[in-house]
Amino acid sequence: MRREIGTAKEIKEYLIHLEGSPVEMAEAIYDLMKRHGLSQREIAKILGWSQQKVSCVLRLLSLDPELKRAVKEGRLRVTAAYRLASMPPEAQRKFAEKVRRGEKVRVKDVEEEAKRIAIEELRDIIEADLLDTPPVVEEAISVLKRLIEEVEDQEVRELASLLLSKLEAMAG
């Protein structure tokens, strides 16, 4: 049974002494926010955290249920869980299935999938001609040129080159 807590000090003590996984911490923070009408900013102030950290912890609540369970049981590293929480549900399901089969989910695998998704989204933008709106084209061109020179990943360089050629054509 949960004890009632109300003051900032009681909330901080409760969360600091909460034993469990980061998912359980996220659940407790969310519950306190709802029961006491607190914002992420207020929780951050109480805990001495940044609002960004509170947001990151709460993002774990968007994990696929199997992934949440794996974090709670120590079968999925928290680093991988944080990254997975920002991925689309279909990508999460892919990793949840791996966990269900007892396979180890490495942070490197999650990062590679996140990169693949980012590249796919860039391709979609390029193919959809969403770049026809005039952003700060010259700065974008400069950033893309630097990216092409500095990035080692061939696929990312090719996408940056495609985007660069589109922007240069827009700039005329």
Domain boundaries, the chain: 8-119, 130-171
| Low-confidence stretches of the chain (pLDDT beneath 70) | 1-6, 122, 124-139, 150-152, 172
> Is-contact 15 29, C-beta < 8 A?
yes
Q: What pTM does this model have?
A: 0.68
At position 74, the amino acid (one-letter code) is G
Question: Encoding tokens for residue 137?
Answer: 């084209």
CA distance 15 to 53: 14
**Model pLDDT, residue 142:** 73
**Model pLDDT, residue 5:** 54
CA distance 155 to 141: 18
Angle subtended at Cα 154 by Cα 150 and Cα 156, rounded to the nearest 5 degrees: 75
Does the domain formed by 8-119 have CATH 1.10.10.2830?
yes
**Model pLDDT, residue 1:** 36
As a 3-state breakdown, the chain gives helix, strand, coil percent values, each rounded to 5, of 75, 0, 25
Closest CA to 113 of 143, 137, 90: 90
Farthest-apart Cα atoms in the chain, separation: 68
